[in-house]
Amino acid sequence: MSSLSAESHLATEVIALEKKHSLFELKFKGVQIYPFLRMPLYYKVAGQLSFLEGNVSKPPMLLNLLLKVLQSFWCFIKALLGRDSPVLILEHPRKVPQGGEKVDIYTRFASKFYGRDALILKDFRDESELIKGQVTVRFDFAQMLAKFLARISIWLYVKNDTLNKIVSAYENEFPNLDLKQFVLRKALESYYTTRISKVFLYMLRPKAVVVAVSYSDCFSAPIVYASKELSISTFEVQHGCIGGLHLGYHYPDSSANSVGIFPDFLLLFGEYWKEVAKYPVSKDQMKLIGFDYFKNAKNRVKDTKRRKQIVFISQQVISERLLKVAIETAINLPDFKILFKLHPKQYHEWSTRSLEELNKFPENLIVLSNSVDLYQLLSESELQVGVFSTAIYEGIGLGLKTVVVKLPGWEIMKSLASISSVSFADNVTGVLSSLKSNLNGNSIAENKIFADLQEVDAASCLDDLVCRRDG
């Protein structure tokens, strides 16, 4: 590996090798294949170089998988036979309880607005139940078929020049890694899913496609790519953090509309997000829709009084290192309650920890799980500490003073330096210094991250664009 000496350099190294080897210009069987591989390769390399802690999901039970495949195949048939130019919506797999149902808080405005004219497409990671009144199709059938085709045909492409150029580019930069089988498998799965998606879309003929995560290599990305081939308008709704080192959004060497998997329009929370990355779309293709879920939550907790407490926002891949900072903080600030808010993916892991281990924590350190209202927690805290999380931006929107700890992934938050109430810390000592400085300060965060728009405004913006392109 060349100059890579710390995890903060990885995204920069990837961007450099992409330019050096012209990876975005490569075609595999007529498909611009590298964009599908960009994020999977980044996570693969980061994992093998131990920059990130484990993030392993449980594979579904075989019987459940078979049932899903059969169910999704039947849904496919019904969708093709019974729909008339719907708006296709690819939800985020993570759902939030709302009104007795678990919903995707990012695309919910679109599914509510279009009602029966919306067709919801779910992938195999989405375990949420179907919502009454929604027309839903599972994508498991197409995904499983693509995986099967990739597995039985992989030997045919061992010597493929395009795929081997991608492998060589990465293995020359990271010589201790063996990436060939990974690249072949991911490339073939993406290719087959794209071709299956194109047939599905050609028969369905949706007016538009709305996604929450465009860079999902075997779900949203193939749908977006195939839609653009068929001149179907595509839209991505912002679902979280975006920054100059987020390879799902940052394409510094790509011109507008040159990345096949990137949607035609990017629907953003607020003006702030337009400048945090070099998107492969023009400024005219970025539209503001606000974040109605946050706006409603902010109104709900606006009269909450601050308490003498500090909240740490955990992420699964940096949890143990951030926990050490929280413990040191609790020891050094005994008069404050230190709350360590787990990421949803951590709940099961923490439920297995021994009582003896938990009893070793300082008395003023409390680990919180899913039962806590995040917005209530943030609104009653004096300060928040984290690394990278949408919750950090929401905390700023609620007026919290903020410390970003420079653990793996923090670079995505660099643009927050323009906000006066945000500070950055290299280590535990720096965090404690920042905390004490912040606690004595009077800085008030400016709410320039979420536009003051409601759900109806977001729906109107989307529909105007859909009608304009459809017409």
Task: Name the strand (E) or helix (H) holding 31.
Answer: strand 31-32
* Architecture of the domain defined by 296-440: 3-Layer(aba) Sandwich (3.40)
SS3 32: strand
Any alpha helices (H) in 115-218, and if so which ranges? Answer: 140-153, 161-173, 180-204
The alpha-carbon radius of gyration of the chain (Å, integer) is: 23
pLDDT of residue 5: 34
Give the CB-side neighbour count of residue 249, counting CA atoms within 13 A: 26
**Token pair for 100:** 């007795």
SS3 205: coil
pLDDT of residue 410: 84
Average pLDDT by stretches of 10, the chain with 471 residues: 48 93 96 96 83 50 55 58 75 80 89 87 65 68 88 94 96 90 96 94 90 88 96 94 87 94 95 92 94 89 88 84 90 91 70 62 84 86 89 87 87 82 85 74 61 88 83 57
Query: Any idea where the domains of the chain sit in the sequence?
Result: 7-59+140-291+454-470, 296-440
Q: Residue 156 CA to chain centroid, in angstroms?
A: 33
pLDDT of residue 244: 80
Tokens 């907790």 belong to residue? 301
Q: What span, in angstroms and rounded, lies between the C-alpha atoms of 321 and 339?
A: 15
Name 431's Cβ contacts closer than 8 Å, sequence gap at least 6: 325, 328, 329, 385, 403, 405, 425
**Token pair for 186:** 């991911």
Angle between helices 292-300 and 390-397 (to 10 degrees): 50
